């Protein structure tokens, strides 16, 4: 047998805690072709260019037939994340219409006090303890509560989503047959639930996003039927798994950099630049695993072949010293932080502003309220996925919880 | 005065809307990807604006130094660099607008610690002009609030409200209108352009006739637009004229556009795109008259009342906006023996000015709208790029070269780019469309007003325009840099209905220096000298 490729090693769970040395080796050439036909792109400039290249496709029906088994089987319509323009643009515009500018420009801004309130409540709940799993107590329930609130999912139904989302996320890269089965079951149940919820909102609309989707007539029409469910599933999954990782990776990084943690406690507005650097340094999404090309794309000496799978290594690009000065240093003061963590071009992360706010608020409150926090295990145990990478648990011990609003 | 100033580099902006999410009071999306911003948001928005600035995926949003500690100067002392110049030299920048300010910031950022003098004929600190025909006219920002943010302390001696009137290159000093002489070791000419006035002075002087280039222009026009004019006449339909027509539509004011050529924007983007622009204008209720000139503007008691057009009609109008392009501010250089004229100031790709002999100078540099430099990517033609982004990048190159040794100089090779926001459409362009012979729609749908078109010259890509599809232009910029084949010989996502190249339909280009008259004297090669002769136009 041949030796495992760098890409194989990156996907291998044993390297989840520290993929960075592998990324560094990967960057020794911008594009690798795996023996299974996949092209792997790892350097900043090439990733940036690819994300603005109209030959790159997110529509996996453009894969050559021999690669068709690489992607989740297509059931029904696709969300905007797996379509190309012009369909992508219409679906995304319809989805954005209930979420942000130009139609609802201040939805997220107005949510800010509620976000703080949710975090305060979650931290209050752990006041009697001296050690918790930060994932279970804060990082997970916070974004779930927010996305459920935005979409109009009743709070009592939130626990169901935890059970549905995990198997879907775990099957994102090279799933086993069991993982595929678990994923399909979860999708089916979630879809049934969303169908019922949408039906209710048609007759009893509120000011939530689902009500908007099923009642608002936009210039592009309504988001209906399979398109609606595809979009809702996407928002639910993408809307919290990534934020959980951002908050958890963020806290882990802060504990590893006590001086920065101290600045977060004391410097006003420090969280703004801190979170931007966290996004670069420890991104939630390490890989865009589902891309292909509608034409050959020449990059340097390599030609990415039409119809082949492409894996875009965002996290590796973020640490590319060719473009990012002292890329391996965690430096919240860096100027012109132009990371790839939300991708770029027309597929730029839909929920990025919300993710930023959530992380800024959660990390600031944690820093100010956890008295003498320390990691129980470093490195912590990681989730299986190499794509959405982050700790599955992050146990933190502390002396006490300070009251909210105290400095 | 507001404590915070903001500018968005709309050349870089790709319309990701992160700022509009995070500080909706200060940043507003128009359509899917065009951005309007408040250049002076109130103090209570400071935290939100800083959030917006940090979140910009392309770091296009610039705030006063407030958002970051000033980085230390980069230590780029070259082997043959002139250290005395860097530390004790005198640098004079004439023109206190965008290019001048960016050059000053670059000089300090690169460690220039000598004396820096900024000379400007307007009384204000450098301010941003694009909002004057957009946010200021729709009332979203005040003309006085467009002061450009400072990215660092430039520690300059400001001489504002006093124009430079002469340049003596024998003794290296600039003469000012008040008689002062300001000596220099290095000079940057960044005097830009002024609006071309209506060609009949008595008519131009009528109350209600405006050009739009300065803050004062913008303030006066805004007041008049608020006074419920019966109709506004826009003369010329380049970018400024088209944007003004769009503003009138937004304000609900009847507007007529008189365009001497065949279509709006045709000069910059060609006839094919011009017809699309014309359709959009008419869809929005603009009374667009192409191939039509304004024969005269008529007033009563000194106020504009009506306009006579070459199509034989008479319009009752209270406001006329003259949008006929600009005149380069070079008159003060006429005695300098530099190669200046209506074409501007010619310079090399490193921004060093040419004298009348065509010799490059070592201590006089040019940047911004007034500069005309050879463009290696575009047949080495001498082109003036009157774009916001060009002022920034050219000023930075000029500043760098002013204090760098000859092995350390940079060529200014940025692919030029510009944008316009009109009728809810975000129009962005890269490269030099005007030299193209063909155009091809490459992505999207013209009918839906969401498309990208590439411009070709003799089989290679030289430009592109995106209509509400600005996120793709980085790709075309690379095609231009690579001299890639036109039309692009491969499939793309979102293919257009018809990708066939057609003639781009640009008006014939003439080099504005074509009629320059030069007299050469002397016999021996060491004696031969050229002199520009003026006044023979």
Place A175 in a pLDDT band, splitting at 50, 70 and 90: confident
Task: Write b or e for each residue in B377-388: b if 16 or more Cβ atoms lie within 10 A of its Cβ, otherwise e.
Answer: bbeebbbbbbbb
- State the pLDDT confidence band at A75, using cuts at 50, 70 and 90: low
Question: What tens digit of pLDDT does each residue of B47-71 get?
Answer: 999 999 999 999 999 998 755 555 6
Host H or E run for residue B309: strand B303-309
Instruction: Work out whether strand B460-467 and strand B450-457 pair parallel, antiparallel, or are unpaired.
Output: antiparallel
Residue B304 near residue B320 (C-beta atoms within 8 A): yes
**Cis before residue B300, ω within 30 degrees of 0?**
no
With contact defined as beta carbons under 8 Å apart, do B423 and B128 qualify? Answer: no
Q: Which residue has the higher pLDDT, A40 or A156?
A: A40
Would you state the pLDDT for residue B63? 93
Q: Which CATH class is domain B83-194+328-408?
A: alpha beta
| Under 8 Å between Cβ of B417 and B473 | yes
Q: How far out from the chain centre does Cα B439 lie?
A: 24
pLDDT tens for B478-526 read: 999 999 999 999 999 999 999 999 999 999 888 888 888 999 999 999 9
Q: Which class does domain B6-67 fall in?
A: alpha beta
List, in sequence order, every residue forming a beta bridge with B346; answer none if it has no partner. Answer: B372
The whole-angstrom separation of Cα A243 and Cα A359 is: 7
pLDDT tens-digit series, residues A155-173: 888 888 778 877 876 776 6
Other Cβ atoms within 10 Å of A400 Cβ, number? 13
Residues of chain B with Cβ-Cβ distance to A93 below 8 Å are: 32
User: Does residue A208 lie in a domain region?
Assistant: yes
Q: Which of B13, B21, B52 to mutate to test the interface with A (most CBs of A within 10 A)?
A: B21
pLDDT recorded at residue B68: 54
CATH number among 3.90.700.10, 3.30.70.270, 3.20.20.80, 3.50.50.60, domain B201-324: 3.50.50.60
Calpha distance A285→A389 (Å, rounded):
6
Contact B30 A55 (CB under 8 A): no
Q: What is the pLDDT of residues B205-228, one digit of tens each?
A: 999 999 999 999 999 999 999 999
User: How does pLDDT run across A103-136, given as a tens digit for each residue?
Assistant: 999 999 999 999 999 999 999 999 999 999 999 9
Q: Is the dihedral of CA B510, B201, B143, B176 positive or negative?
A: positive
What is the average pLDDT value for chain A, to the nearest integer? 93
pLDDT > 90 in chain A, percent? 76
CATH of the domain at A333: 1.10.630.10
- Decide: B406 and B79 in contact? Cβ < 8 Å: no
Q: The pTM is what?
A: 0.95
Place of tokens 């409150």: A365
Average pLDDT over residues A373-378: 98
Report the C-alpha gap between B176 and B184 in whole angstroms.
Answer: 13
Q: Which residues of chain B have pLDDT under 50?
A: 1-2, 79, 537
The pLDDT value given to residue A407:
41
Which distant-in-sequence residues (6+ apart) come within 8 Å of A69 by Cβ?
none
Q: Given this chain, do its domains B6-67 and B424-503 carry the same CATH topology? A: no
Place of tokens 């956890």: A370
Taking an 8 Å cut-off on Cβ atoms, the answer to whether B443 and A93 are in contact is no
Q: What is the DSSP string of A51-79?
A: HT-TTEE--GGGS-GGGGGGSPPP-SPPP
Tally A–B CB contacts below 8 A: 119
Among the listed residues A258, A288, A283, the one whose alpha carbon sits nearest the alpha carbon of residue A370 = A258
| Total domains present in chain A | 1
- B21–A109 CB contact, under 8 Å: yes
Q: Please give the full DSSP string across B375-412, using - where no structure is assigned.
A: EGGGTTEEE----HHHHHHHHHHHHHHHTS-GGG----
CA separation for the pair B374, B382 (Å, rounded): 4
Query: Reduced to 3 states, what is the DSSP secondary structure of residue A312?
Result: strand
At B142-193, the pLDDT tens digits run: 999 999 999 888 999 999 999 999 999 999 999 999 999 999 999 999 999 9
**Is any Cβ of chain B less than 8 angstroms from the Cβ of A85?**
yes
Crossing angle for the helix pair A270-281 and A352-369, to the nearest 10 degrees: 110
Q: In angstroms, what separates the C-alpha of B198 from chain A's closest C-alpha? A: 38
Give the pLDDT of residue B73: 65
CATH superfamily of B424-503: FAD/NAD-linked reductase, C-terminal dimerisation domain (3.30.390.30)
pLDDT at B92: 98
Instruction: Find the helix or strand (DSSP H, E) in which B210 lies.
Output: strand B209-210
Q: What is the pLDDT of residue A350?
A: 96
Nearest to A353 among B18, B472, B491 (CB): B18
Residue A102 at interface with chain B, using a CB cutoff of 8 Å? yes
Residue spans per domain, chain B: 6-67, 83-194+328-408, 201-324, 424-503
Range of A112's domain?
Answer: 73-285+321-401
Q: Which two tokens stand for residue B179?
A: 């008689």
User: What's the gap between Cα B121 and its chain centre?
Assistant: 18
Residue whose pair of structure tokens reads 């940090």 in the numeric block: B54
Rg (CA), chain B: 23
Does residue B218 sit in helix, strand or coil?
A: helix
Which residue of B lies nearest to A112 if distances are taken between CA atoms?
Answer: B22
Q: Please, which residues bridge with residue B207 across strands? A: B303
Report the DSSP pairing between strands B360-366 and B352-354: antiparallel
Task: Name the residue among B17, B58, B472 with its Cβ closest to that of A338.
Answer: B58
Q: Which of A297, A181, A17, A211 is CA-nearest to residue B488? A: A297
* Phi (first) and psi of residue A13, to 5 degrees: -60, -30
């Amino acid at each position: 047998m041949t030796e495992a490729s760098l890409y194989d090693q990156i996907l291998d769970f044993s390297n989840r805690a520290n993929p960075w040395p592998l990324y560094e080796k990967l960057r020794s050439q911008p594009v690798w072709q795996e023996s299974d036909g996949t092209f792997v792109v790892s350097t900043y400039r090439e990733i940036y260019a690819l994300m603005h290249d109209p030959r790159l496709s997110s529509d996996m029906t453009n894969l050559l037939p021999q690669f068709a088994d690489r992607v989740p089987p297509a059931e029904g319509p696709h969300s905007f994340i797996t379509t190309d323009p012009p369909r992508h643009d219409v679906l995304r515009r319809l989805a954005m219409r209930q979420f942000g500018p130009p139609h609802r420009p201040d939805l997220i801004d107005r949510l800010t006090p509620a976000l703080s309130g949710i975090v305060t409540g979650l931290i209050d709940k752990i006041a009697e303890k001296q050690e918790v799993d930060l994932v279970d107590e804060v990082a997970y329930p916070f974004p779930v509560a927010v996305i459920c609130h935005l979409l109009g999912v009743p709070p009592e139904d939130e626990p169901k989503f935890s059970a549905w989302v995990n198997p879907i996320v775990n099957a994102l890269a090279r799933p086993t047959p069991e993982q595929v089965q678990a994923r399909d079951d979860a999708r089916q149940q979630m879809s049934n639930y969303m169908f019922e919820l949408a039906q209710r909102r048609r007759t009893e609309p509120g000011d939530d996003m689902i009500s908007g989707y099923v009642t608002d007539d936009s210039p592009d029409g309504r988001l209906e039927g399979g398109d609606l469910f595809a979009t809702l599933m996407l928002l639910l999954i993408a809307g919290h798994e990534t934020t959980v990782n951002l908050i958890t990776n963020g806290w882990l990084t802060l504990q590893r950099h006590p001086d920065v943690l101290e600045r977060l406690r004391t410097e006003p507005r420090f969280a703004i630049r801190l979170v931007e650097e966290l996004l670069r340094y420890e991104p939630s999404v390490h890989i865009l695993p589902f891309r292909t090309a509608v034409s050959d794309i020449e990059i340097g000496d390599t030609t990415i072949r039409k119809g082949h799978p492409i894996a875009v290594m965002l996290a590796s690009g973020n640490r590319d010293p060719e473009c990012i000065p002292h890329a391996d240093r965690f430096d919240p003061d860096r100027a012109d932080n132009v990371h790839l963590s939300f991708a770029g071009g027309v597929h730029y992360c839909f929920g990025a502003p919300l993710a930023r706010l959530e992380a800024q608020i959660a990390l600031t409150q944690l820093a100010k309220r956890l008295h003498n926090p320390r990691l129980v295990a470093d490195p912590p145990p990681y989730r299986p996925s190499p794509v959405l990478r982050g700790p599955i648990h992050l146990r933190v011990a502390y002396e006490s919880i300070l009251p909210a609003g105290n400095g | 005065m507001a404590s915070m100033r903001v500018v968005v580099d709309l050349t870089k902006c790709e319309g990701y809307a992160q700022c509009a999410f995070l500080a909706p009071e200060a940043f507003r999306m128009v359509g899917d990807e065009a951005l309007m911003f408040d250049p002076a948001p109130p103090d209570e928005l400071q935290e939100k604006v800083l959030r917006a600035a940090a979140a910009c995926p392309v770091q296009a949003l610039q705030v006063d130094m407030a958002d970051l500690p000033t980085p230390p100067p980069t230590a780029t002392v070259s082997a043959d660099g002139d250290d005395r110049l860097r530390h004790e030299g005198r640098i004079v920048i004439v023109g206190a607008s965008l290019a001048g300010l960016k050059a000053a910031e670059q000089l300090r950022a690169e460690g220039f610690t000598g004396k820096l003098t900024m000379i400007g004929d307007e009384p204000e600190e450098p301010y941003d002009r694009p909002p004057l025909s957009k946010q200021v006219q729709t009332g979203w920002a005040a003309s006085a609030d467009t002061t450009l943010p400072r990215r660092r302390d430039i520690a300059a001696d400001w001489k504002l409200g006093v124009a430079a009137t002469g340049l003596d290159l024998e003794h290296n000093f600039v003469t000012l209108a008040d008689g002062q002489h300001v000596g220099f070791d290095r000079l940057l000419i960044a005097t830009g352009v002024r609006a071309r006035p209506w060609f009949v002075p008595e008519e131009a002087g009528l109350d209600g006739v405006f050009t739009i280039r300065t803050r004062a222009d913008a303030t006066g026009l805004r007041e008049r637009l608020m006074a419920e004019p019966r109709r506004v006449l826009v003369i010329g339909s380049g970018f400024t004229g088209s944007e003004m027509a769009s503003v009138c539509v937004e304000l609900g004011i009847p507007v007529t556009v008189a365009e001497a050529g065949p279509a709006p924007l045709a000069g910059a983007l060609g006839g094919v795109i011009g017809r699309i622009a014309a359709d959009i204008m008419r869809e929005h209720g603009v009374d667009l008259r192409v191939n039509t000139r304004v024969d005269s503007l008529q007033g009563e008691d000194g106020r504009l009342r009506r306009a006579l057009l070459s199509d034989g009609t008479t319009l009752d109008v209270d406001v006329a906006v003259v949008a006929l392009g600009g005149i380069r501010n070079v008159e003060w250089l006429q005695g300098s023996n530099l190669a200046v004229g209506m074409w501007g100031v010619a310079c090399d790709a490193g921004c060093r000015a040419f004298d009348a002999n065509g010799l490059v100078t070592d201590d006089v540099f040019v940047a911004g709208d007034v500069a005309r430099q050879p463009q290696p990517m575009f047949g080495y033609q001498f082109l003036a790029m009157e774009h916001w982004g060009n002022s920034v990048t050219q000023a930075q190159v000029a500043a760098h070269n002013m204090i760098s040794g000859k092995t350390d100089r940079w060529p200014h090779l940025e692919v030029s780019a510009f944008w316009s926001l009109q009728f809810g459409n975000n129009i962005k362009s890269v490269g030099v469309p005007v030299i193209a012979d063909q155009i091809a729609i490459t992505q999207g749908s013209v009918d839906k007003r969401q498309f990208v078109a590439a411009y070709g010259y003799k089989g290679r890509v030289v430009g592109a325009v995106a209509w509400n599809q600005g996120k793709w232009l980085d790709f075309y910029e690379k095609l231009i840099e690579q001299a890639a084949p036109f039309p692009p010989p491969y499939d793309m996502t979102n293919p257009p209905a018809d990708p066939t190249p057609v003639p781009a339909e640009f008006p014939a280009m003439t080099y504005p220096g074509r009629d320059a008259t030069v007299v050469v004297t002397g016999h021996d090669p060491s004696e031969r000298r050229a002199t520009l002769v003026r006044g023979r136009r």
